[in-house]
Structure 1
Amino acid sequence: MGLSMDEQKAVERFKTDVVEPSMTKLVILDFHADWCGPCKALAPMLEKVAAEYADKGVVLKKIDVDEEKFIAAQFQVQSIPTVYALFQGQPVADLTNARSETQMKQTLDQILAQLPVEAGAEQSPQPEQDVSQFVTMAEQILAEGDAERAAGIFDQVVQMAPNDAAAHVGLVRALVQAGHVEQAQAALAAAETNPAIATDPQIEQARSALELAGNKVDDSELAALKEQAASGDMQARYDYAEAAFAAGQRDAAAEELLAMFEADREWNEGAPKAKLLQIFEAVGLEDPWVVATRRRLSRLLFG
């Protein structure tokens, strides 16, 4: 549809948070902003009325126009507060001028009398299980080198708690380390369709792991890169380090990058250090190998 990635994500969030509830409920959609004084004055009334009308099938949803500019633009919001009533994904009334509790209730009564709104308060989603102990266990197994087993545990955790970002990230990293790059790509793609996961900062760790895996070459190419790196050319050394890590030779990759950093820490705007940090993120900051290698980098940095 010609939408950017951010716009697509905004649409998905709106569908999940607003459109889906509106299929059976009457949604009061409040466009507001933190800096808007009239919005703050109106909010308590909207919350009170929505709570009182919850059993009649009314729910309140809020859209911050600064955070969701694309959605606000689709509704042609020119000023705030702007308040609409939505049913089955479509605006059915402009509630902006209903500034008093009495006016709002009268308007809602009129709308509810005309639409097949499902009575009853919106059901709160069931809380996800606390899976932190399983994530920790899988991380430990991954750090010990059993990527296959770790991937299996992470996959089970994802099924138990689909909104747990750490589990999704761990699954991608474990699959990469086990050599299942295509499965890792599919796992990341699936995670990114979940708005709660796609916007989580932890997802960058999974993207880093896949990016690094994309540098994999066959054994003959790796040997050729190693030979070229022996010449001392910095770019050749960097290319070899990337390929070595993708091939699972993380010690060789780290040795090369640390040596490059020690020789010329400013080369290519500090690329060896940046690559090491990306590797640390992909492997996992608590991994014993990462802890030890970070310590070596710190000694070079601070002498």
Structure 2
Amino acid sequence: MSAAEKEAVQAFRTDVVEPSMTKLVIIDFWAEWCGPCKALTPVLEKVAAAYADKGVVLAKVDTDKNQFIASQFQIRSIPTVYAMFQGQLVADLTSARTESALRTMLDQLLRQLPIQGEAQSQEAELEPLIAMGEQVLAEGDAERALSIFDQLVEMAPEHPAVLSGRIRALVAVGAHDEAQAMLDTLPEEAAKRPDIERARAALALAQSAPVVDDLAPLEAAVTANPDDHQARFDLANAQMAAGNRDTAADNLLAIIASERDWNEGAARQQLLKLFEVVGLEDPWVSAQRRRLSAILFG
């Protein structure tokens, strides 16, 4: 190995390998004459900057000036983009030529690797607080839940789970206009997150299932005529508004079992909204999905 090669190896260790011991390093193999490299560079720089607090850094390797390093990685075409963690290549990112594709691949890697950037540290701090807010909200203490999520928004104003919790707490206390205003001001990327979709579903459900002070007339109507699907549907909506998800699901499933296409499938659509609000990973939702499947396919 020549002196120049030894110098190149040492520089690579300093600039790439050592940072990879604690961070995820994106290695961009490029050259000045490479047109596609120049097109990709702004994408890599933008995403790396956005993910810096998550422990991601960008290292650029000019293959013309570092031919020995390029040969060690068997670089045959450029741009070639790898990800390194703890001195090992963990992914080939070359196919990710757009910002969204690169973000998707990085998100997958960050979920799998024990990288502790500022964002991960904050996530660890927020996780039990978010869980507490969710528990309080599930128990029906909407005012207290809103207070918890108000404080969390100050700590993490862009965190999807925090924003979702606050929006759903606003819905629970009846502040629908404020909940809608929060949804309307979210960035497009955040608005597509599952947490936010859950919050949007909660608002839509609340707007379609207003609170009824006295359920007795609706209950009496259903008892008098079990086939009155509209009365049963209205009762289910009122039960959802009151937080009685079990009885609401029972009534919606009863409609589906009797006439699945009633009112263009309104009962099934409302039940799916309820699932989304509760959370698709919730054991209760899994149990109700099994009941729905048994009706539809049993």
Question: Which of 193, 200, 213 is the equivalent residue of 1:219?
Answer: 213
Match of 2:199 in 1: 206
Question: Which of 176, 184, 194 is the equivalent residue of 1:192?
Answer: 184
Secondary structure class of the residue paired with 2:150: helix
Question: Which of 153, 167, 175 is the equivalent residue of 1:172?
Answer: 167
1:179-224 Cα shifts (integer Å, max 9, x gaps): x111x5414412431315334343222122122222324324x433
What is the CA–CA distance in structure 2 between the aligned matches of 1:49 and 1:189, rounded to whole Å? 33
What is the CA–CA distance in structure 2 between the aligned matches of 1:198 and 1:137, rounded to whole Å? 23
What is the CA–CA distance in structure 1 between the aligned matches of 2:44 and 2:193, rounded to whole Å? 32
TM-aligned CA distance change 1:192 to 1:39, over 3 Å? farther
Match of 1:248 in 2: 243
1:172 and 1:185 in contact (8 A); partners too: no
Aligned residues: 187
Query: Root-mean-square deviation (CA), in Å?
Result: 3.4
Moved more, 272-281 or 227-236: 227-236
What is the CA–CA distance in structure 2 between the aligned matches of 1:162 and 1:261, rounded to whole Å? 41
1:109-153 Cα shifts (integer Å, max 9, x gaps): xxxxxxxxxxxxxxxxx8593223432333344344444433332
1:261-300 correspondence runs (5 A): 261-300=256-295
Question: Which of 139, 144, 155 is the equivalent residue of 2:134?
Answer: 139
TM-aligned CA distance change 1:49 to 1:239, over 3 Å? closer
1:116-131 correspondence runs (5 A): 129-130=122-123, 131=126
Deviation at 1:271, TM superposition (A): 2.2
Secondary structure class of the residue paired with 1:181: coil
Deviation at 1:275, TM superposition (A): 1.0
Q: Report the identity percentage.
A: 49
TM-aligned CA distance change 1:46 to 1:168, over 3 Å? closer
What is the CA–CA distance in structure 1 between the aligned matches of 2:232 and 2:43, rounded to whole Å? 61
Deviation at 1:255, TM superposition (A): 1.4
TM-aligned CA distance change 1:225 to 1:47, over 3 Å? closer
1:168 and 1:187 in contact (8 A); partners too: no
Moved more, 210-219 or 153-162: 210-219
TM-aligned CA distance change 1:225 to 1:286, over 3 Å? same
TM-score with structure 2 setting the length? 0.52
Deviation at 1:277, TM superposition (A): 1.1
For residue 166 of structure 2, what is the amino acid of its counterpart? Answer: L
Unaligned ranges ≥5, structure 2:
1-33, 47-117
TM-aligned CA distance change 1:145 to 1:217, over 3 Å? closer
For residue 142 of structure 1, what is the amino acid of its counterpart? Answer: L
Deviation at 1:278, TM superposition (A): 0.4
TM-score with structure 1 setting the length? 0.51
Task: State whether structure 2 residue 139 is matched by structure 1 residue 153.
Answer: no
TM-aligned CA distance change 1:188 to 1:197, over 3 Å? farther
What is the CA–CA distance in structure 1 between the aligned matches of 2:150 and 2:292, rounded to whole Å? 33
Question: Which of 259, 279, 293 is the equivalent residue of 2:254?
Answer: 259
Match of 2:54 in 1: none
What is the CA–CA distance in structure 1 between the aligned matches of 2:40 and 2:269, rounded to whole Å? 48
TM-aligned CA distance change 1:45 to 1:295, over 3 Å? closer
